[in-house]
């Protein structure tokens, strides 16, 4: 994966899936999953506080789950979660968790 911010991906995404709600939200906001995945894979802080950012940095090192929270252009919150075994990454709305 090549990121738009010229940062090297820090972990594998595995199979990428998205919930119907996330797909609808991205379409309504005029954004793509690729935009969010490119941010997620370089640990863009998005809406995470410092503690959660640190947890993600440790997750990359220790092989734990990586979690991102981003606001779409229309203000909708969307989560991106990569499983600890790096087998899959899911884009979803918080209320779909």
pLDDT digit string (tens) for 82-94? 999 999 999 999 9
Residue 6's pLDDT is 75
CA distance 68 to 36: 9
* Structure confidence at residue 4 as a pLDDT band (50, 70, 90): low
Helix (H, G, I), strand (E, B) or coil at 96: helix
53's enclosing H/E stretch is helix 50-62
* Structure confidence at residue 3 as a pLDDT band (50, 70, 90): low
In this prediction the pTM is 0.94
Q: What is the pLDDT of residues 28-62, one digit of tens each?
A: 999 999 999 999 999 999 999 999 999 999 999 99
- Reading the block at residue 83, the tokens are 């499983």
């Amino acid at each position: 994966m090549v990121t738009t911010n010229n940062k090297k991906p820090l972990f594998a995404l595995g199979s990428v899936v998205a919930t119907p709600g996330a797909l609808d939200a991205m379409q309504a906001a005029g954004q793509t999953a690729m935009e969010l995945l490119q941010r997620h894979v370089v640990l863009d802080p998005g809406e995470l506080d410092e503690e959660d950012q640190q947890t993600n940095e440790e997750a990359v090192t220790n092989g734990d789950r990586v979690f991102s929270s981003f606001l779409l252009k229309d203000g909708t919150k969307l989560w991106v979660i990569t499983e600890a075994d790096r087998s899959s990454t899911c884009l979803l709305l918080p209320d779909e968790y």
